[in-house]
Amino acid sequence: MTDLLEGLNDKQLEAVTLPYQSALILAGAGSGKTRVLTTRIAWLIQTGQISPSGLLAVTFTNKAAKEMLSRLSAMLPINTRGMWVGTFHGLCNRFLRAHHREARLPALFQILDIADQLSAVKRVMKAMNVDDEKFPPKQVQNYINNSKEEGLRADQLDAYDKHSEKMREIYAEYDAQCQREGVVDFAELLLRCYEVLARETALREHYQQRFRYVLVDEFQDTNRLQYLWLKLLAGKNNCVFAVGDDDQSIYAFRGARVGNMLDFEHDFGVHKIIKLEQNYRSHSNILDAANAIITHNKNRLGKNLWTSSGAGEPVRVFEGYNDIEEANFIVEEVKALHAEGQSLADMALLYRSNAQSRVLEHALFSAGIPYRVYGGLRFFERAEIKHAMAYLRLVANPNDDTALLRVINFPTRGIGARSLEQLQEGAKQNECSLWAAAETASAGKAMAKGIPAFVALIRSLQEQCHGLPLPEMIDVITDQSGLRAHYQSEKEGEERIANLDELVNAAVAFVQEHDGAEPVEGEEPAGTAAQQLLVAFLTFASLEAGEHQADPGRDALQLMTVHASKGLEFLNVFICGVEEGLFPHEQSMYEANGLEEERRLMYVAVTRARRRLYLSHAQSRMLHGQVRYGVPSRFLDEIPDELLKRLNARPVTKFAAEPAFGNAPRVASSQSSQYPWRVGQAVMHSKFGQGVVVSYEGNPSELIVQVNFGHVGLKKLLVEYAKLEPV
DNA sequence: CTTGAGAGGTTTTTT
DNA sequence: ACCTCTCAAG
């Protein structure tokens, strides 16, 4: 066996071989974070300090967890199967399955994804007669999730007024509904697990004694609840090894608390933070640019990346007249690089928001460059898959109201709003599930024939599926339910049919992987083996639906948001739309510390590049169907000029010329007499400085002009009072 | 129950 | 611009 510690630098070595104590490792981008984490585990095991079953390692993505496990089994001759290495949600799910009684959950509880959750929220609100104009279901959903991620139940929340009181009430009702139906949402997995550990002393002590060592990846992304969970699990005597990078915290908007890093230092008695600052990814021009940007942030633990691999190429900056020219430039560069023999898969186009991908895709498509867009709808989130899964869920548990509502009339079988209302009424009166109500209704006196037909269908499916292997079950279900026939008659249903076939394939692969899987420890497995497998598959679909690495065979350019690029690296990186209002995003200005998060986002983007980095921006672009004029991002100004190579010199007085490509602003020439300045014209304001006229609104007597003042932001000004000077 | 017009809303989203 | 959702007419 090769020496584990070989090739580690001093800091990495120090982190890997730390004595038994809690530690915080500040691991910069490209500093070998995953390597340190896995080597630490391997070293602890190899030196006999801990057994494989005595540690718990937690990540945010399934990908990261898998990566850790595969590297681990390459380092050590151990069976990683039974090890507690996984995502927060995956581990909590495992815990709850084993201790469902203590958690007061049915053994075969099911997991709601965001879409399921939203429909559950809508259902609760309807039952409560809540006005969904005043309480938009999405907002309610966020409120519930945010509360749970703070570790708070409805009865622990304060209400300030009628509105928040109602929110709290809906939250409580929603939880009650989930409990009745035996389903849990993502946040609930964690909160429930946390509560069980907090409540059940014996259980907590058992796990505390077992997991002497807890390791956390991407610690900067943990939310309040995850932090509390870790603290509870560690207890007084165990140690936590946390690895993270405060400069790469880009999920505050979802409840991640960078502050957990400071709290951690204090709560876990960390003596010394180890900083991994040597970067093995990029040349120094790229790192210096990244460092220059991030030093503008006030709230940092402090860290400076360096490399021994030389300056490398300058950071290239391109300014387009508009987004189309920007896209065309990128196409040309990509072509040139590809012609030099570089693979497309090692090039990435990064953008701040998904809306930007359209223009880029159009240009790439026209040029015949294969590309792949990351993000968007995932396989298990597609409507046809969700429908098939809903039938599957009903076979597993017909009392699953969410699943029932999804397919009771899909394909349509004459069950309209009225029949549904009757069902819901019946369910409410008898305090039973919709399924039970449907059974009663169809057994009783004459009813619209749809419902008895549906009941018969589900019963028949249950019967036919009994004893069948999972893939065949899916075959039967998609066939008998009429799903397949429905999509066959649809004009663009071919892809959907193909997806249903793909679902069968996914089931085949799943069954193979689970062959001879370990039984859940602790308690007797509930249900039959077949039921277990079915529920495991459903859980897999909601918890591990990711894995976007399709068509690895084809060499394709990678398109994704900056968020999606975290953790990845590419030889050549293009960051597009580096403009005020886009990156940093306009919306971020309204949030506390929003700008700092945007800057971290730019830091993440820049540090993705190994060798060559392009930053591009455009003077104008189409946004929400309107031409928007923008000034270069402040982040560009934050990079020292000597690191940059400006590829094209645009005239200093921008926007003086007619807008390129005939995208004439609506109000420009024809009625220009009415408007003092042309849209796109640079103007000076005594207080806000230089800006660009974006649009006009209001009537002629009270004309309002919207000006983009770059760093100051977008401002709406009354033409009459705003003393603007042309530049 | 299906269809289409109109309204509203568009940052990012590991599970 | 474009997508999703709602509601009224067929």
List, as one string, the DSSP characters of A570-631. EEEEEE---BTBBTTBGGGGGSTTHHHHHHHHHHHHHTTEEEEEEEEEEEEEEETTEEEE--
3-state SS track over A449-503:
CHHHHHHHHHHHHHHHHCCCCHHHHHHHHHHHCCHHHHHHHCCCCHHHHHHHHHH
Q: What share of chain A is helix, strand, coil (3-state, %, to 5)?
A: 50, 15, 35
> Residue A626: how many CB atoms within 10 A of its CB?
12
pLDDT at A668: 35
Q: How far apart are CA A161 and CA A560, in angstroms?
A: 42
Reduced to 3 states (helix: H, G, I; strand: E, B; else coil), residue A246 is helix
**pLDDT block averages, 10 residues each, chain A of length 727:** 83 95 96 95 94 95 94 91 94 97 94 89 87 87 94 93 90 94 94 98 96 96 97 94 97 94 94 94 97 94 94 96 95 97 96 94 93 86 90 91 89 82 84 89 71 92 92 94 86 82 91 69 64 90 68 83 96 96 91 93 98 96 88 95 89 41 35 58 77 67 71 70 75
Scan residues 250-269 of chain A and list those with Cβ within 7 Å of strand B.
Answer: 250-251, 253-254, 256
Which residues of A are catalytically annotated?
33-34, 217-218, 248, 608
Q: In sequence order, what are the residues at sequence separation of 6 or more whose Cβ sits closer than 8 angstroms to the Cβ of residue A54?
A: A210, A211, A212, A213
Q: At what angle do helices A417-430 and A434-443 cross, to 10 degrees?
A: 100
Residue A531: its pLDDT value, please? 83
Residue A700's pLDDT is 60
Question: How many Å from the CA of A491 to C1' of B4?
Answer: 17
pTM: 0.87
> Which nt has its C1' nearest the CA of A118?
C5
Q: Are A618 and A320 in contact (CB under 8 A)?
A: yes
Indicate if CB(A588) is under 7 A from strand B.
Answer: yes
Give CA–CA dist A451/A448, Å, rounded.
Answer: 7
- Which of chain B's bases lie under 7 Å from a protein CB? 1-2, 10-15
| Residue A654 pLDDT | 40
The answer, yes or no, to whether the previous bond of A584 is cis (omega within 30 of 0) is yes
Are A228 and A194 within 8 A, CB to CB?
yes
Based on C-alpha coordinates, what's the Rg of chain A?
A: 28
Distance A455 CA to B4 C1' (A): 33
Bases of chain C below 7 A from a protein C-beta are 1-2
CB atoms closer than 10 angstroms to residue A330: 24
Using the CA of A137, give the nucleotide whose C1' is nearest: C5
The predicted structure's pLDDT at residue A661: 35
Strand B and A548 CB separated by under 7 Å:
no
CB-based contacts of A329: which residues, under 8 Å, 6+ apart?
A318, A320, A616
Span CA (A356) to C1' (C4), Å: 19
Rounded distance, CA A601 to CA A607, Å?
Answer: 10
- The three-class DSSP label of residue A382 is coil
**Nucleic strand B contact set for A 34-93 (CB, < 7 Å):** 60-63, 87, 89-90
Closest nucleotide to residue A114 (Cα to C1')? B15
Q: Which residue is nearest to nucleotide B2 (CA to C1')?
A: A412
Is the bond into A411 cis (omega within 30 degrees of 0)?
A: yes
d(CA A356, C1' B10) / Å: 12
Tokens of A681: 């014209």
Who touches strand C, with Cβ under 7 Å? A 358, 622, 624-625
C1 C1' closest Cα residue: A625
Question: Residue A442 has what pLDDT?
Answer: 82
How many angstroms is C1' of B2 away from CA of A138?
27
Kindly state the tokens that stand for A671: 């009625």
| pLDDT attached to residue A162 | 87
Q: What is the pLDDT of residue A590?
A: 84
Rounded to an integer, what distance in angstroms lies between the CA atom of residue A123 and that of residue A141?
12
Give the number of other CB atoms < 10 A from CB of residue A284: 18
- Token couple for A11: 């800091």
d(CA A488, CA A492): 9
CA distances, A499 to each of A381, A383, A470, A471, A489 (Å)? 11, 10, 16, 14, 16
Query: Is A564 near strand B, with its CB below 7 A from some atom of it?
Result: yes
Protein residue with the closest CA to the C1' atom of nucleotide B10:
A624
- pLDDT at position A188 is 97
Enter the tokens of residue A713.
Answer: 């932001």
